[in-house]
Structure formats: C-alpha cells, structure tokens
C-alpha cells in the first residue's frame, strides 16, 4: 500500500505543478527568475572631486551643498572631457576637477558608468521650478524660491536625473512645473546647466 500511496502523491504533485506555473505567469511573475535584493538604479551626481583612491578605485565627490558621495569606478567606466583619457583605466579624474558622474547602485554600492568633466569653473546649484523649456535654443527657464527667474543653457551632455533613471536634456525629460535642482557653471556670462535633479511636479 505504501508504494501505491507514494505513487498517487507524486502524480498529484506533477499535475499541480503546471497549474502553479500558469498561475505565476498570469500574475506577471517569472517563477524561474531569482529576484535580487540589490536592484541597479541609474542616477547622477555633480560636484568637485575631493579624493581619488586608486587602490580601492573610488572617488569622493563633494556637491555644491557640501554633501559628499563615494563612487566606485571600473575599467568599463567611460571618461569624457579629460585629455588622454577615454576610460577609467587610463585615468578617471584629478582631485579638484569639476565633474558629473553617472552611476548605478545605491549606498556603498555606487559604481560610475560615465564621468563627464565640465571644466575648471566651480559647479553651483539652485533649487527651483521649471517655467519654460525651449528645445530649439536648448534653454530652460527656472524660477527660484525667491521668485527670480534665470535662463540656463543646456550643456552638450546635460543630464536629467528623474529619480528613476537618467536621461539626456535633449530627450524632453523636463516639463513646465517640474521641481528641480540645477547644477550649473558660469561660462562667458551664461549659466550652463550640466545636471538637473528632477523631483516631478
């Protein structure tokens, strides 16, 4: 009787398994996919390079509001705007450089995918609301908390951190009414925006 019972139980389980898989797929889940606890998120930070540690392959970025973020870099990290460097294998930055760093990960797991050098002028930042976006002239008008309005020219590689991912400024990622932090430099009398940290309406 025991073998007969085990055989019946095995048959029942085999019949139930396909139904369970169908139910999982219907619920939008992949029953065979392992879910990672650490999900890679695409973000960006702008600031001054305070320290480079070639041993641990990390750089410390100090933003215009005084906060600091440590970001790792690898041989796959691309480097733009730095002479004789195309990847972090060549050279990622000098201490004191002004940069915009695009990275994935959170907390102690930030890893740079791209480092954009923005020149020698110190990065500044302002908190405000987008009043107008002109994709023809590549300008954005932002009203600050004190009510003043300023026009910012988008840099060639201007980024927009939407909070969920990073887009280029030319991808219509900014809309009127959006609350943003603008990271910019002063160049020949113009305010040039390199990164918009976007927090939605």
Residues 171 and 131 in one domain: yes
Helix, strand, coil percent content, the chain, rounded in steps of 5: 15, 45, 40
Instruction: Indicate the number of domains in the chain.
Output: 3
d(CA 132, CA 199): 16
| Helices and strands (H and E) in the chain: how many | 1, 12
Domain of 98: which CATH number?
2.40.50.320
- Domain end point (choices 100, 117, 134): 117
Q: Domain of residue 174: give its range.
A: 124-198
Residues 48 and 16 in one domain: no
Give residue 176's pLDDT.
95
Give residue 67's pLDDT.
94
Could you read off the pLDDT of 104-147 as tens digits, one per residue?
998 889 999 999 999 889 999 999 999 999 999 999 999 998 99
- Domain end point (choices 71, 98, 117): 117
Residues 29 and 57 in one domain: no
- Domain end point (choices 60, 92, 117): 117
Indicate whether 164 pLDDT > 80. yes
Residues 105 and 128 in one domain: no
Residues 104 and 59 in one domain: yes
Its pTM surpasses 0.85: no
DSSP line for 38-102? S---EEEEEEEEEEEETTTTEEEEE-TTS-EEEEE--TT-EEESSTT-SBTTT----TT-EEEEE
Residues 111 and 54 in one domain: yes
Could you read off the pLDDT of 31-52 as tens digits, one per residue?
333 333 334 569 999 999 999 9
Question: Could you tell me the CA-to-CA distances from 155 to 140, 191, 195 in Å, in that order?
Answer: 11, 10, 9
Residues paired with 124 in a beta bridge: 184
């Amino acid at each position: 009787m025991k073998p007969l019972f085990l055989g019946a139980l095995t048959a029942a389980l085999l019949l139930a398994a396909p139904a369970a898989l169908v139910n999982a797929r219907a619920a939008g889940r992949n029953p065979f996919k392992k879910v990672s606890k650490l999900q890679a998120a695409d973000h960006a930070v702008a600031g001054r390079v305070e320290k480079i540690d070639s041993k641990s392959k990390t750089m410390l970025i100090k933003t215009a509001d005084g906060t600091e973020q440590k970001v790792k870099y690898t041989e796959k990290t691309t480097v733009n705007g730095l002479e004789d460097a195309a990847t972090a294998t060549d050279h990622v930055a000098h201490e004191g450089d002004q940069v915009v760093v695009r990275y994935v990960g959170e907390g102690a797991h930030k890893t740079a995918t791209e480092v954009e050098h923005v020149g020698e002028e110190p990065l500044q930042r302002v908190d405000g609301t987008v009043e107008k976006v002109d994709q023809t002239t590549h300008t954005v008008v932002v009203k600050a908390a004190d009510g003043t309005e300023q026009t910012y020219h988008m840099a060639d590689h201007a980024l927009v951190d939407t909070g969920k991912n990073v887009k280029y400024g030319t991808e219509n990622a900014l809309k009127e009414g959006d609350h943003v932090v603008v990271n910019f430099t002063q160049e020949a009398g113009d305010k040039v925006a390199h990164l918009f940290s976007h927090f939605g309406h």
